Amino acid sequence: MSQTKKVIIIGSGFAGQTAALYLGDALGKDHEVTVITRTTEFIFIPSLVWVGIDRMSLDKVQFPLAPVYEKFNVHNFHGQVTDIYPDDGYLTALDETTKAPKKFEYDYLLNATGPKLNFAGTPGLGPDAGLSQSICTPHHATRSRDTYLESVERMKKGEKQHFVIGTGHGTATCQGAAFEYITNIHKDLERRGIRDKASIKWLSNEPALGDFGIDGVSVAQGKNIRTSEEFITTVFEDYDIDWQVKTAVKALEGNSIYYETLEGNEGDESFDFSMLIPQFLANGMKYHDKNGEDITSKLANPGGFVLVDAVYGKPYDELKANPEYWPATYQSPAYPNIYAAGIAFAPPGPISRPQATPNGTPMAPAPPRTGMVSGVIGRLVAKNIIDNVKGHEASHSERMTEMYAACIASMGDSIWDGSAAVIIAHPIVPDWKKYPISGRDMFVSNMEMGLSGAWMKRMIHTTFSHKLRGRFGWSLIPE
């Protein structure tokens, strides 16, 4: 009988939960698979946008993890990993309740932690400071809902309200989530009959409207080429949403957002309600050698994201010209038994061209690595760990320069009169060698808007909740 192997997954988001299902299904009965996570429930984060406008209750976007892990023979520890000792193959984690440390040995480790929300990176940003809202966690989404409903009540009484939605830092990502929230606010206010009492503005660090941190998308529609900038511009014009891009938010004070534009001009925007996505950082685990010395810089970049099989440190134009610089297996070159997936891995650079103001303020949307991308990488890494445990060479690889990405941004959740913007990009990171005109396959990439997108968005919520619970036929539902 083969020796029992120990596999540890840190995190239970899309990447971690997907990996846990595949690893538990393949190895759980004969080996030891453990998930260490700070939450007891899986959170379907894309649907928090609906919680934030009071169109969906929290119980519809989360479910308990323990029954799923029990069914798949996966162990679970509710706690936070603080230190990893890769030379000796163990880590320490603090129990979330007692704060007592516990040691876990591993043969294979997958870091699938989500982001640390760096509200502190922008003074006054975030619900803890009380000045802006967030839809990044259940607690934040419910607070956004409550604050939003206060604005709704004021508008019902005839007051005007100014909404500012977008990004709260020059290097923030997840513009897609903010875009979905702003269009849902528009639709919800229309449904309530008070849209005329609101002015709505998009404030973003993107180099162009519709960039979304992926350098925009171009698609072939008949004999014409349409860009995501044109697509989103049309949406905002139709919805009477003002916009301002090439902007880094520097601070919030009172009811004012202070910012710097790419040209170096400073300005401010007053608001009654704001939701600004913060900068994402890694979760701050430390790595140590046999002697206890800190070797974090050997395994992670300065932001704490895990260095994997990518080519790092290259200028943007060289990275753009070489799709093979992006990672294929998401495996640490320093310790091949350590993998990273989703937000946790360090990309080799930005997808959109990085810029900075004359004052040196960075204006560079970070590459999105959530949702579909996280699930795909979680499955890929799990399959390779399964290969390793079974004594085979890892046989799975997929770069983001090969990967499909689909973004479905709802504009109202109703399957009767809702709508959604559907953007499909292939690949998510442009491959200029294979597609020299736009970096992507313009006949596979697509952009559409309509009622069918609303149906698709709701179907994804339902099917992925089914899949990530590990219910019948879960593995047949693609990531």
Residues in the chain: 479
Which pLDDT tens digit goes with each residue over 204-263? 999 999 999 999 999 988 888 899 999 999 999 999 999 999 999 999 999 999 999 999
CA atoms of 405 and 479, how far apart (whole Å): 10
Confidence of residue 466 (pLDDT cuts 50, 70, 90): very high
Which pLDDT tens digit goes with each residue over 94-142? 999 999 999 999 999 999 998 999 999 999 999 988 899 999 999 999 9
Which pLDDT tens digit goes with each residue over 380-411? 999 999 999 999 988 899 999 999 988 777 77
Q: Whole-model pTM?
A: 0.95
Which long-range contacts does 40-45 make (Cβ < 8 Å, 24+ apart)? 40/64, 40/65, 40/66, 40/78, 41/65, 42/12, 42/17, 42/68, 42/468, 42/469, 43/13, 43/137, 43/138, 44/461, 44/464, 44/465, 44/468, 45/13, 45/14, 45/136, 45/370, 45/371
- Average pLDDT in the 6-33 region? 97
Residue 1: is its pLDDT beyond 50?
no
CA atoms of 198 and 439, how far apart (whole Å): 39
Residue 339: is its pLDDT beyond 90?
yes
- Average pLDDT in the 186-192 region? 94
- Average pLDDT in the 324-349 region? 97
The percentage of the chain sitting over the pLDDT mark of 70, rounded to a whole number, equals: 98
- Average pLDDT in the 23-47 region? 96
User: Cβ(12)–Cβ(371) under 8 Å?
Assistant: no
Give the pLDDT confidence score for residue 333 in this predicted structure. Answer: 97
| Structural domains of the chain, with CATH | 6-116+281-389 (3.50.50.100)
Give the pLDDT confidence score for residue 370 in this predicted structure. Answer: 85
| Count of other CB atoms within 10 angstroms of residue 272 | 18
Confidence of residue 412 (pLDDT cuts 50, 70, 90): low
